[in-house]
């Protein structure tokens, strides 16, 4: 759900894959990891016309980020809400990223979506794990202060009920990773990304952000951990 035509131009991303579409470069990068953990990875671009699959044909979901705000009145977002409710009832695992984190935390739970007082957080930064996060399998094998890529001007203010489920924070954003229970996890940061994504994203609009990103980060490890958790939960 990265962006409709007015926000996302695949031409700028063709250095990542021939189509310039997020679902295709994610498949290139993480298809082998999915295979190693027992999955076959495929992608649907829901904000550009792809249909959602039947809930029962899917064993695991990574819900990507978006340039849109998750509270917008768009048909594909409304369809996604309905689909996710069915998927949640099916008891299958999910990793929500950035906009996916905001959607699950505020539309399925009682977190509040608001603007960061410090403006857009763009770059690769260390996060602070909570006591719960330090021992959580999502961060298994990573450092005690792992680094991830960020690109957000909105964040989630957790409800009282969510505070006990927070796994990580950074600065004013005190709920950047949440364990929602039943193998649903969400992150405000972008573990699925590489520096090259942000170079394509910002070089035509805000080139000053590009230098803030690094490939010295732990995103791939978290994605692998999620797929490992999901695979164990299905057996």
The CATH number given to whatever domain includes residue 56 is 3.40.50.880
Task: Give me the average pLDDT of each 10-residue run along the chain (235 residues).
Answer: 95 97 97 97 96 96 97 96 97 97 97 97 98 97 96 98 97 98 97 98 94 97 98 77
3-state secondary structure of 224: helix
pLDDT at 118: 96
pLDDT at 233: 74
Is residue 32 a part of any domain in this protein? Answer: yes
Number of domains in the chain: 1
pLDDT at 128: 98
Sign, CA torsion 55/58/60/61: negative
What whole-number distance in Å separates Cα of residue 117 and Cα of residue 145? 24
Tokens describing residue 187: 């992150």
Is residue 95 a part of any domain in this protein? Answer: yes
Q: pTM, whole model, 2 decimals? A: 0.96
What domain range is 132 assigned to?
Answer: 10-233
Is residue 215 a part of any domain in this protein? Answer: yes
What whole-number distance in Å separates Cα of residue 39 and Cα of residue 122? 31
- β-strands 184-187, 94-97: how paired? parallel
Is residue 4 a part of any domain in this protein? Answer: no
Is residue 5 a part of any domain in this protein? Answer: no
Is residue 16 a part of any domain in this protein? Answer: yes
Tokens describing residue 87: 């998927």
């Amino acid at each position: 759900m990265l962006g409709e035509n007015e926000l996302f131009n695949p031409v700028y991303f063709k250095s990542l894959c021939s189509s310039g579409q997020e679902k295709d470069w994610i498949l290139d990068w993480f298809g082998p990891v999915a295979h190693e953990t027992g999955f076959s990875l495929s992608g649907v671009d829901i904000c550009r016309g792809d249909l959602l699959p039947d809930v029962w044909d899917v064993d695991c979901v990574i819900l990507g980020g978006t340039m849109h705000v998750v509270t917008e009145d768009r048909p594909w977002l409304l369809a996604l809400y309905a689909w996710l409710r069915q998927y949640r009832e099916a008891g299958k695992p999910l990793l929500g990223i950035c906009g996916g984190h905001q959607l699950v935390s505020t539309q399925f739970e009682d977190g509040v979506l608001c603007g960061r007082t410090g403006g857009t957080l763009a770059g690769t930064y260390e996060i602070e794990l909570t006591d719960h996060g330090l021992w959580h399998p999502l961060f298994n094998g990573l450092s005690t202060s792992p680094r991830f890529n960020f690109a957000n001007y909105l964040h989630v203010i957790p409800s009282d009920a969510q505070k006990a489920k927070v796994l990580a924070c950074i600065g004013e954003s005190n709920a950047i990773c949440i364990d929602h229970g039943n193998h649903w996890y969400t992150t405000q940061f972008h573990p699925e990304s590489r520096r090259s994504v942000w170079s394509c994203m910002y070089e035509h609009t805000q080139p000053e952000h590009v230098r803030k990103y690094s490939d010295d980060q732990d995103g791939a490890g978290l994605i692998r951990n999620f797929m490992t958790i999901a695979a164990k939960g299905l057996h």
